[in-house]
C-alpha cells in the first residue's frame, strides 16, 4: 500500500468584498486533503506499475467515495459553508491548487447498490465503456454544488470537492493538493428569518457543523420570534403527539407518566392530542396539520424533541389495535416502490422548511419538491421518534421500558454489546454481514472515511454466520440474559429479523431492555407494508420488539429495503449505520434521536440524482427511530467493586487422569484496587483447585492457572469462580463455566476446520470415519491447552488465504509440537501468507517455491510409508475440485522429506520427523483428491504414521537418511529462489507474493484476471 505523508488545513475568512459593491461579502475557505492511498480494486495490496491492467482504488483518508455504477470511484469532500443571515449567493469560485500526476491507473468501477434481501446472481457491474473510452476529465468539474439547506434558520451551502481528476482513456490520474473556495453573497431585498429562533443551543450546534463558524456572528439573536402557539403556552423541550384515547389511557405507565418522568429529569415536557391539532391548524391533510403544529411549537415554544405517540398502520382492516393514530407521511421512493411510491418516513416531521410537495402532484419528497423547486429540506429542526403503539397494553409496555432504561444508569448489563451478522451473498468481503459490523464494533477507517466504534469499556460479542452456524434460540438466550445493544446486518422482512419471528419477540423474557439497530429490509415497516406492496393487519417485527413486555426499549430500522453493494462493505445502509455510532462515540451525541439525524446529515453530500444518490435518499427517508428521541444512550456501568471472569481457557477434550490446566483471567472493573482475590476451580460444587491474587488494580487483569483431572470417562462441567469483595453487589459475572469431555485411552484426533466457512471438512470426516478413527471437530482455532490434549491434530484451511494460520495459531501449534505433538496440515494457500514466518521455516522446515504449479497430478515416492505406490489426482472426480492454487514447496532440512511431487515438477507434500514431533504437510487440499478410496487410504497412512510409537529415524527414506546429519542452521534457501523479491525482476521493493495478493483478490471478482499475471515471475 502506497501512503504518502500529508497534512490537513481548513481555513476561512470573511470580509466586505472589494469591487463587488457595498454590502456584498466574500467568504474564503481553503481545504487541503490528505495524500491519496492507491490500492488494488476492492481492497488488497498495491500493484506494481507494470500491472495496470488490473483495477485499482484511490482512497483519501477522511473522505467518502462517490460511487456511480460503472463509473470510476473517486473520493470527495463535502464542504459546508454558512451563508450570512439575510444574504443570498451571487457567485461561487473553486480554485484547485497544483496538479500532481499519480501515474496511469485503471480506477475501479462503482458497483450497483442492491437490496440486502437480493438473492440473484453475483454479477459484477461492468465499466461504462463510453466513460472509460473518453478523454474528458472525470469528474468533469473539480466541484459540484449539492445545494443550499437551512437548519434551524441557518443557511448552509453544500459543495462537493473532488481532489482526483481522471482521464479514463489514457488512465492518467491527477491529484489536487489544495482547494481555494470563494463564495460571494449579497443582501436579499427583504429579510426572511425562516425558522431562525435565536436559540443559544441552535447556535452552538451550527458552529460545530459548518466549516466557517466565524460567520455565525451575522445571525443576530435579538431577531428571535415572539409569541406562543395556539395549543401551548410556555417553553418546552419535548412534546408527545398522540390521540385523546391514548393521552387519557387508564393504565399504569401511560404517556402522562412519561411526561412526569421527563419533567422530573429537567426536560420540560407536555402532551398534545391530534384531535386538537386537526381542529386548530390548516392543511391539506392530517400530516400537514401535524407538521404545522410542530413548526409552530418549534418557533414559539422552543421544542427540540417530538415523540409521535401512536402507530401508523397502512391497513384499515382491523389488525392488532387501532389503525392510524399519528399518520406517517409517505415519501418518494425512486424506482423501488410502486403503487404508490411511498416510504413511511418521520423525517417529514423533523425537517420543517418548505412543504415537501412543491410541484403539488401529491408525491412528497421528490428531489425538486423543496423550497422554490430545489432540494427538499434534509436538515432537521427537531428530533423525532415514534412510539408505534395502538393499544393500552402496548402503550404501557413502551413507556415502562423507556423509563426503566432511562433510570438504569448503573447496571453491569450496560457493558454488553452484541453484533448479529448473517450471510448476505454479495461476493467477497460483502458475503458476510459480520465484516460490516466489525467496522461498527471497533471503529473503522474503511472506505476512506473514519467512524468511531464501541469503546473497550463495553463487552463486545459477536454472533456471525461468517464464523459459525447459529440459530434463533442462541440469540434468544443472549437477549434473555440481558444485553444493552444489538446491531444487526442480515436478511429480514416485515415479520422477521435476526432469524427471529414476531412470535419470538413476544416470548422474550429479558428484564433489562436493549437498543437495536438493523440494516435488514422491511423490518421497520411500521405501516405494515411488505415488498409486494401488500398491507398486513399485523405490525412489523421491530414494532413488536419495542411494544411487547420485554425486548427492546428502542429500535432503529428500515421501513423499506436495506441496501448493500457487491464486493465491498461500503454499502448505502452501512454508511448511515457507521455514522450513527460515530455520532454517539465520536461526537458525544447521546440522545438517540439526535444521533440518528446526525448520521443522516453526515450523508447529505451523497444525495444527488445519480443511481447511488437516489439510493442514499431512499435510506435517508426510510431509516426511522421506533423509540423516544430524547432518551440518552448510557455509558458502561462502573461500581466501586466489580470483579469479573473475562476468560476461561481449557481443553474441550482430554484423557483419563491427564491433568487439565484451566487458564482463568480475572478483570477488576471496579473503581477500587482489590487485595487477596481468591479464584477457585469447582467441579460439581467441590473446589478442586484455588489461587490467591495478592493485588489487582482498578482496570487491571490477572491470569491464574488451576488444574483438574478425572479417571473416569464422561462429560464434566468445570466452573471458575472469583470470590466477591466486600461491597460487591453484582456477582453474576463472577463465574464462568466450560465443559470437558474425557475420552478413553485410545489415539485421539482433533480435526480443526479452518476453511473460513466452506464445507471441505466433510471430506476429512468421511475418511476418518471410514478408517474407524475417533476424532473431535472444532470450527474455531484451538488454544495451546486444547491442542495438548490430542495425540494428533489435523488442520485444514481449504482455499482461505486471509485468516488461515494466524500468528496465534502458529504459536500454539509450535508449543504443541515442542511437547511432542503430531500434525497433518493441508491447504493450497497455507504458504501464501505464512511462508516468511518462523513456523513455516523452522517447524514445517520447507521453503515456499511457487503459489500455483498448474499441475494436478502428484506421484508418490517408492518406499515412503505414506506415498509409496500412490498417484493422486486433485481435480474432478468425487473430490472438492477446488485447487486453483496448488503450491510447490521444497524441504530445507535433514528432518523434512518430500513425499508427493507434481510429476517431477516440484514437491507438493513433505513429511517431517524430528524425534520430538511429526508433521505431514500437503501444500494442496486433501479434499481435492478425486477418489474417495484414495482419500481413505491417504488418511489411513497419514494417521498411522503420525500416531505410531516414537522411535529412531530408521524408517526415513534414503534421501532423508543422506541428509539427516545436515545442520538446521546451515541450510539456506537457494539464491534467487522464486518467491523472493530479488526473483521478481521488477526492480522495486515489492514481493511477488504482495503482487499476487492483489491478483488473487481480483481473480475472485473478475474471473480470468489471474491469468494476466503470467508474466510475473512465471507464476500465473
What pLDDT is attached to residue 626?
A: 99
Q: If you ran DSSP here, which 8-state letter would residue 135 be given?
A: -
What pLDDT is attached to residue 631?
A: 98
CATH of the domain at 143: 2.60.40.3800
Residues 98 and 217 in one domain: yes
What pLDDT is attached to residue 834?
A: 85
Task: Please list the alpha-helical segments (H only) found in 689-838.
Answer: 761-770, 784-787, 807-818, 830-834, 838
Non-local (6+) Cβ contacts of 512 within 8 A are: 408, 411, 413, 482, 483, 484
Q: Is the pLDDT of residue 321 over 70?
A: no
The arithmetic mean of pLDDT across residues 728-741, rounded, is 87
Residues 514 and 609 in one domain: yes
Non-local (6+) Cβ contacts of 795 within 8 A are: 752, 754, 805, 813, 823, 824, 825, 826
Give the model's confidence band at 122: pLDDT under 50 very low, under 70 low, under 90 confident, else very high: low
Residues 941 and 1009 in one domain: no
Kind and range of the H or E run holding 578: helix 572-581
Kind and range of the H or E run holding 203: helix 200-209
Q: Structural domain tally of the chain? A: 6
DSSP 358-387: TT-SS-BT-TT-SGGGSPPP-S-SSEEEEE
What pLDDT is attached to residue 746?
A: 63
Chain-centroid distance of CA 604 in Å reads 21
Q: 288 in a domain, yes or no?
A: yes
Q: What is the pLDDT of residues 799-850, one digit of tens each?
A: 877 667 888 899 999 999 999 999 999 999 899 878 888 999 999 999 999 9
Q: 789 in a domain, yes or no?
A: yes
CA distances from 60 to 74, 446, 940 (A): 9, 11, 54
Q: 228 in a domain, yes or no?
A: no
Q: What is the SS3 assignment for 437-502?
A: HHHHHHCECHHHCCECCCCCCCEEEEEECCCCCCCHHHHHHHHHCCCCEEEEECCCECCEECCEEH
**Distance from C-alpha of 827 to C-alpha of 754, rounded to nearest angstrom:** 10
Strands 653-654 and 686-696: unpaired
| Burial (CB count within 10 angstroms: exposed 0-12, middle 13-18, buried 19+), residue 187 | middle
Higher pLDDT, 955 or 479: 479
Higher pLDDT, 604 or 51: 604
Residues 330 and 461 in one domain: no
| Beta strands, E only, 197-268 | 238-242
Residues 730 and 823 in one domain: no
Structural domain ending residue among the three candidates 700, 726, 742: 742
Q: Is the pLDDT of residue 733 over 80?
A: yes
Residues 737 and 753 in one domain: no
Residues 731 and 767 in one domain: no
- Which range of residues forms the domain containing residue 328? 238-373
Residues 730 and 756 in one domain: no
**Distance from C-alpha of 554 to C-alpha of 546, rounded to nearest angstrom:** 6
| Closest to 25 (Cα-Cα) out of 13, 40, 42, 39 | 13
The values of phi and psi at residue 880, to 5°, are -75, -20
CB 895 within 8 A of CB 914: yes
Global pTM? 0.68
**Distance from C-alpha of 384 to C-alpha of 628, rounded to nearest angstrom:** 8
Between the two ends of the chain, the Cα-to-Cα distance in Å is: 22
What pLDDT is attached to residue 860?
A: 97
CB 75 within 8 A of CB 163: yes
CA distances from 615 to 531, 593, 620, 872 (A): 16, 22, 9, 52
Q: Is the pLDDT of residue 222 over 60?
A: yes
CB 925 within 8 A of CB 884: no
Q: What is the pLDDT of residues 908-927, one digit of tens each?
A: 999 999 999 999 999 999 99
The values of phi and psi at residue 970, to 5°, are -85, -5
Q: 673 in a domain, yes or no?
A: yes
The arithmetic mean of pLDDT across residues 66-81, rounded, is 97
What pLDDT is attached to residue 12?
A: 41
CA distances from 4 to 10, 101, 108, 176 (A): 19, 13, 21, 14
Residues 950 and 985 in one domain: no
What is the length of the chain?
A: 1020
The arithmetic mean of pLDDT across residues 222-229, rounded, is 81
Chain-centroid distance of CA 537 in Å reads 34
Residues 884 and 771 in one domain: yes
CATH of the domain at 354: 3.40.50.10390
Average pLDDT, the chain: 87
Higher pLDDT, 322 or 690: 690
**Distance from C-alpha of 337 to C-alpha of 342, rounded to nearest angstrom:** 7
What pLDDT is attached to residue 741?
A: 86
Q: Which three cell numbers stand for residue 573?
A: 445502509
Residue 61 bridge partners (DSSP): none
Q: 379 in a domain, yes or no?
A: no
Non-local (6+) Cβ contacts of 121 within 8 A are: none
Q: Which three cell numbers stand for residue 66?
A: 462517490
**Distance from C-alpha of 375 to C-alpha of 145, rounded to nearest angstrom:** 11
Q: 255 in a domain, yes or no?
A: yes
What pLDDT is attached to residue 985?
A: 28
What pLDDT is attached to residue 744?
A: 72
At CA 795, angle to CA 794 and CA 798, rounded to 5?
Answer: 130
CATH of the domain at 807: 3.40.50.880
Residues 848 and 931 in one domain: yes
Structural domain ending residue among the three candidates 720, 742, 764: 742
Structural domain ending residue among the three candidates 592, 626, 660: 626
Q: What is the pLDDT of residues 323-356, one digit of tens each?
A: 789 999 999 987 765 566 789 999 999 999 999 9
| Burial (CB count within 10 angstroms: exposed 0-12, middle 13-18, buried 19+), residue 514 | buried
CB 144 within 8 A of CB 54: no
The values of phi and psi at residue 973, to 5°, are -60, 145
- Strands of 64-66's sheet, edge to edge? 64-66, 74-83, 154-161, 143-151
Higher pLDDT, 315 or 847: 847
Higher pLDDT, 316 or 786: 786
As a whole-number percent, the residues of the chain with pLDDT over 70 amount to 87
Residues 760 and 714 in one domain: no
Which of the residue ranges 386-390, 862-866, 926-930, 1005-1009 would you say has the lowest mean pLDDT?
Answer: 1005-1009
**Distance from C-alpha of 234 to C-alpha of 302, rounded to nearest angstrom:** 9
CATH of the domain at 697: 2.60.40.10
What pLDDT is attached to residue 972?
A: 34
Q: Residue with C-alpha cell 452552538?
A: 204
Q: What is the pLDDT of residues 152-191, one digit of tens each?
A: 999 999 999 999 999 999 999 999 999 999 999 999 988 8
Q: Of 331-335, 781-785, 898-902, which has the strongest mean pLDDT?
A: 898-902
What pLDDT is attached to residue 952?
A: 42
| Closest to 88 (Cα-Cα) out of 157, 30, 41, 28 | 157
Q: 401 in a domain, yes or no?
A: no
What pLDDT is attached to residue 457?
A: 83
Q: 968 in a domain, yes or no?
A: no
CB 465 within 8 A of CB 474: no
Amino acid at each position: 500500500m502506497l501512503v504518502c505523508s500529508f497534512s490537513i488545513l481548513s481555513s476561512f475568512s470573511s470580509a466586505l468584498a472589494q469591487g463587488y459593491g457595498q454590502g456584498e461579502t466574500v467568504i474564503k475557505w481553503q481545504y487541503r486533503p490528505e495524500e491519496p492511498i492507491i490500492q488494488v480494486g476492492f481492497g488488497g495490496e498495491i500493484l506494481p506499475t507494470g500491472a495496470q491492467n488490473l483495477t485499482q482504488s484511490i482512497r483519501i483518508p477522511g473522505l467518502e467515495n462517490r460511487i456511480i455504477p460503472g463509473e470510476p470511484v473517486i473520493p470527495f469532500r463535502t464542504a459546508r459553508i454558512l451563508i450570512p443571515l439575510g444574504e443570498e449567493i451571487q457567485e461561487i469560485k473553486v480554485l484547485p491548487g497544483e496538479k500532481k500526476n499519480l501515474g496511469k491507473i485503471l480506477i475501479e468501477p462503482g458497483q450497483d447498490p442492491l437490496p440486502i434481501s437480493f438473492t440473484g446472481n453475483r454479477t459484477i457491474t461492468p465499466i461504462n465503456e463510453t466513460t472509460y473510452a473518453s478523454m474528458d476529465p472525470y469528474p468533469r468539474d473539480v466541484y459540484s454544488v449539492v445545494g443550499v439547506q437551512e437548519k434551524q434558520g441557518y443557511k448552509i451551502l453544500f459543495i462537493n470537492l473532488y481532489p482526483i481528476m481522471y482521464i479514463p482513456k489514457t488512465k492518467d490520474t491527477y491529484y489536487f493538493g489544495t482547494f481555494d473556495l470563494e463564495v460571494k453573497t449579497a443582501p436579499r431585498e427583504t429579510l426572511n428569518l425562516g425558522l431562525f429562533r435565536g436559540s443559544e443551543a441552535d447556535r452552538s450546534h451550527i458552529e460545530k457543523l459548518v466549516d466557517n463558524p466565524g460567520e455565525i456572528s451575522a445571525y443576530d439573536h435579538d431577531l428571535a420570534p415572539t409569541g406562543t402557539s395556539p395549543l401551548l403556552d410556555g417553553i418546552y423541550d419535548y412534546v408527545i403527539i398522540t390521540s385523546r384515547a391514548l393521552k387519557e389511557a387508564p393504565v399504569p405507565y401511560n404517556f402522562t407518566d412519561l411526561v412526569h418522568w421527563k419533567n422530573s429529569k429537567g426536560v420540560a415536557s407536555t402532551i398534545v392530542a391530534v384531535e386538537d391539532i386537526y381542529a386548530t391548524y390548516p392543511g391539506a391533510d392530517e400530516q400537514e396539520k401535524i407538521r404545522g403544529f410542530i413548526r409552530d411549537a418549534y418557533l414559539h415554544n422552543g421544542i427540540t424533541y417530538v415523540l409521535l405517540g401512536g402507530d401508523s398502520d397502512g391497513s384499515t382492516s382491523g389488525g392488532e389495535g387501532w389503525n392510524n393514530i399519528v399518520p406517517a407521511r409517505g415519501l418518494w421512493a425512486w424506482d423501488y416502490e410502486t403503487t404508490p411510491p411511498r416510504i413511511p418516513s418521520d423525517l417529514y416531521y423533523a425537517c420543517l422548511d418548505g412543504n415537501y410537495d412543491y410541484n403539488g402532484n401529491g408525491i412528497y419528497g421528490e428531489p425538486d419538491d423543496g423550497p422554490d423547486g430545489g432540494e427538499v429540506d434534509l436538515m432537521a429542526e427537531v428530533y423525532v421518534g415514534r412510539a408505534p403503539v395502538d393499544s393500552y397494553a402496548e402503550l404501557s409496555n413502551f413507556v415502562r421500558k423507556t423509563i426503566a432504561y432511562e433510570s438504569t444508569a448503573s447496571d453491569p448489563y450496560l457493558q454488553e454489546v452484541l453484533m448479529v451478522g448473517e450471510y448476505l451473498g454479495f461476493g467477497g468481503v460483502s458475503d458476510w454481514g459480520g465484516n460490516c459490523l466489525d467496522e461498527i464494533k471497533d471503529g473503522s477507517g474503511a472506505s476512506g472515511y473514519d467512524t468511531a466504534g464501541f469503546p473497550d469499556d463495553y463487552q463486545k460479542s459477536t454472533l456471525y454466520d461468517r464464523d459459525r452456524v447459529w440459530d434463533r434460540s442462541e440469540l434468544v438466550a443472549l437477549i434473555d440474559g440481558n444485553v444493552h445493544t444489538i446491531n444487526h446486518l442480515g436478511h429480514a422482512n416485515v415479520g422477521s429479523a435476526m432469524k427471529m419471528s414476531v412470535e419470538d419477540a413476544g416470548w422474550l423474557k429479558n428484564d433489562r431492555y436493549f437498543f437495536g439497530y438493523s440494516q435488514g429490509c422491511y423490518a421497520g415497516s411500521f405501516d405494515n407494508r411488505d415488498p409486494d406492496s401488500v398491507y398486513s393487519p399485523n405490525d412489523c417485527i421491530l414494532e413488536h420488539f419495542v411494544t411487547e413486555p420485554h425486548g427492546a426499549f428502542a429500535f432503529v430500522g428500515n421501513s423499506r429495503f436495506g441496501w448493500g453493494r457487491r464486493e465491498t462493505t461500503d454499502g448505502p445502509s452501512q454508511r448511515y449505520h457507521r455514522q450513527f455510532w460515530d455520532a454517539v462515540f465520536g461526537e458525544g451525541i447521546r440522545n438517540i434521536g439526535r444521533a440518528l439525524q446526525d448520521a443522516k446529515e453526515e450523508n447529505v453530500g451523497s444525495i444527488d440524482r445519480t443511481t447511488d444518490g437516489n439510493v442514499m435518499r431512499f435510506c435517508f427517508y426510510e431509516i426511522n427511530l421506533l423509540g423516544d428521541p430524547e432518551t440518552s444512550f448510557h455509558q458502561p456501568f462502573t461500581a466501586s467493586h466489580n470483579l469479573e471472569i473475562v476468560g476461561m481457557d481449557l481443553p474441550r477434550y482430554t484423557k483419563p487422569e491427564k491433568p487439565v490446566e484451566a487458564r482463568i483471567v480475572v478483570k477488576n472493573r471496579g473503581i477500587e484496587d482489590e487485595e487477596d482475590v481468591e479464584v477457585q476451580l469447582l467441579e460439581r460444587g467441590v473446589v478442586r483447585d484455588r489461587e490467591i491474587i495478592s493485588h489487582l488494580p482498578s482496570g487491571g487483569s490477572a491470569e491464574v492457572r488451576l488444574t483438574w483431572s478425572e479417571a473416569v470417562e464422561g462429560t464434566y462441567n468445570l466452573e471458575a469462580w472469583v470470590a466477591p469483595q466486600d461491597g460487591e453487589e453484582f456477582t453474576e459475572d463472577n463465574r464462568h463455566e466450560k465443559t470437558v469431555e474425557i475420552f478413553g485411552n485410545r489415539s485421539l484426533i482433533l480435526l480443526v476446520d479452518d476453511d473460513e466457512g466452506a464445507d471441505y471438512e466433510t471430506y476429512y470426516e468421511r475418511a476418518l470415519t471410514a478408517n474407524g478413527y475417533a476424532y473431535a471437530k472444532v470450527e474455531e482455532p484451538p488454544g495451546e491447552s486444547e491442542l495438548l490434549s490430542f495425540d494428533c491434530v489435523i488442520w485444514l484451511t481449504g482455499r482461505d488465504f486471509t485468516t488461515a494460520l494466524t500468528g496465534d495459531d502458529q504459536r500454539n501449534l509450535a508449543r504443541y509440537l515442542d511437547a511432542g505433538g503430531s500434525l497433518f496440515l493441508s491447504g493450497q494457500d497455507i504458504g501464501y501468507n505464512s511462508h516468511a514466518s518462523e513456523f513455516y521455516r523452522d517447524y514445517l522446515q520447507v521453503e515456499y517455491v511457487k503459489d500455483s504449479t498448474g499441475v494436478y497430478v502428484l506421484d508418490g515416492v517408492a518406499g515412503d510409508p505414506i506415498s509409496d505406490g500412490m498417484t493422486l489426482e486433485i481435480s474432478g472426480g468425487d473430490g472438492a475440485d477446488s485447487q486453483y492454487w496448488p503450491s510447490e514447496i521444497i524441504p530445507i532440512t535433514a528432518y523434512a522429506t518430500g513425499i508427493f511431487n507434481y510429476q517431477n515438477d516440484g514437491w507438493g507434500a513433505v513429511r517431517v520427523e524430528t524425534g520430538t514431533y511429526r508433521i505431514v504437510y500437503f501444500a494442496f487440499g486433501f479434499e481435492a483428491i478425486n477418489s474417495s478410496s484414495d482419500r481413505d487410504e491417504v488418511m489411513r497412512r497419514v494417521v498411522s504414521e503420525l500416531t505410531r510409537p516414537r522411535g529412531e529415524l530408521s524408517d526415513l527414506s534414503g534421501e532423508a537418511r543422506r541428509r539427516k546429519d545436515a545442520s538446521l542452521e546451515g541450510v539456506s534457501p537457494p539464491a534467487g529462489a522464486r518467491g523472493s523479491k530479488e526473483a521478481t525482476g521488477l526492480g522495486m521493493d515489492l514481493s511477488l507474493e504482495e503482487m499476487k495478493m492483489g491478483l488473487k483478490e481480483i481473480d475472485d471478482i473478475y474471473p480470468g484476471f489471474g491469468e494476466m499475471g503470467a508474466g510475473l515471475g512465471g507464476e500465473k
